[in-house]
Amino acid sequence: QVLSQLGERAKLLLYWRDDALIGFALVLIEPGRLIEKYNGMRYPDGPDHGVFFMNWMTQVRLCVERGIPELHAGETTYLTKARLGCKLHRSWIYFRHHRRHMNGLFGLLSRWIAFDSTDPDLRKLGTDAPYVEQ
């Protein structure tokens, strides 16, 4: 339905090994941006045959062919994406508890439960994480 409703604004990328489907990606195309919405692969065939990188290069090729300057590559595998040249955008989670005294406690704990300190890839990148300055 997505493909029929969006027409040329959506593409389904399929990755085959002989007759076996070993990976896919659904990408959405907006003016100036390609967004990888969903992807998946069959294990262990997908990783063993480089589907992650084939998918990455296919999306880069689509961007180059169409003159699309931005590729939104998703919210996982930060270390690999940083090595491939991605720039990361910081995310923020705001909270407010209905019991006011809990807000202070959460505020103190937030620095230790922040995503960039709990995600193994981001922790490994540390200060070398290629964040876009806003």
In tens digits, the chain (134 residues) has pLDDT values of 999 999 999 999 999 999 999 999 999 999 999 999 999 999 999 999 999 999 999 999 999 999 999 999 877 788 888 888 888 887 777 778 899 889 888 888 877 777 777 788 888 888 888 988 86
Per-residue DSSP letter, 123: H
- What is this structure's pTM? 0.74
3-state secondary structure 61-118: HHHHHHCCCEEECCCCCHHHHHHCCCCECCCCCCCCCCCHHHHHHHHHHHHHHCHHHH
Question: SS3 breakdown of the chain: % helix, strand, coil, rounded to 5?
Answer: 45, 25, 30
pLDDT at 124: 86
